[in-house]
A and B are shown apart, each in its own frame.
Chain A
């Protein structure tokens, strides 16, 4: 089974701090994604990457950047954290389901609180 691991389950940071959220997948997948999840808004795409050093902005990239130096690792960076970035962050990589569909496999999520 595909495993997507997010390094931190819970983080508490202060306004203005630089924050790194790490995500690792173990199946050599090319496509990886970062979403944030907020109540009533569902999941919104921040950035995605389709190969090493390749990235594309999603729907809400402002205030975020990403890094993909190795295929298995996709990092989300908050250069200067703000309180409105308090959220659940979900990383995913594209894989195939048992029925052969291209699906996203998600990590367990990182709940970030910015004080």
Chain B
């Protein structure tokens, strides 16, 4: 079974509107972390936001927020007030267990295009 599922291969959004990118995950470990990364056309992966499984509040970083619904095992990224520079690939990722030596498992990504 897929550990991270991103069901939207591509999304369009108008500039200044909000957009939600979906991510569901699968783990039986009670301790885990969820991440979102942005990959512009230049190719570099940029860390956006992190949510720990024990965090009580949804994570926010500027225009990015993570809608964490633990019972549904979803960790959707919300981008408010989209900008043209937000056009990129977005990857959801998960770390199972404590950080230590653990790697991240990534989803297949969502390509977001912001239209003027």
- Spell out A's residues near B (CB within 8 Å): 31, 33, 35, 40-45, 48, 50, 56, 58, 88, 90, 92, 94, 97, 99, 101-109, 111
Contacts and interface: CB of A to CB of B under 8 A. Distances in A.
Contact of A50 (B37, B52, B91, B101): B101
Contacts of A99: 50, 61
Given A48-B103, A106-B44, A109-B44, A43 B91 contact: yes
26 contacts: A31-B101, A33-B103, A35-B106, A40-B108, A41-B108, A42-B4, A42-B106, A42-B108, A43-B91, A43-B106, A48-B103, A50-B101, A56-B101, A88-B43, A92-B45, A94-B99, A101-B52, A102-B33, A102-B95, A102-B99, A104-B45, A104-B47, A105-B47, A106-B37, A106-B45, A108-B44
Interface string B28-68: 00000101010000111101001010000000010000000
Given A105-B47, A108-B44, 20 more contacts: A31-B101, A33-B103, A40-B9, A40-B108, A42-B6, A42-B107, A42-B109, A43-B93, A43-B104, A50-B101, A90-B45, A92-B45, A94-B99, A101-B33, A103-B35, A103-B50, A108-B42, A108-B43, A109-B44, A111-B43
B80 interface: no
B76 interface: no
Contacts of A44: 106
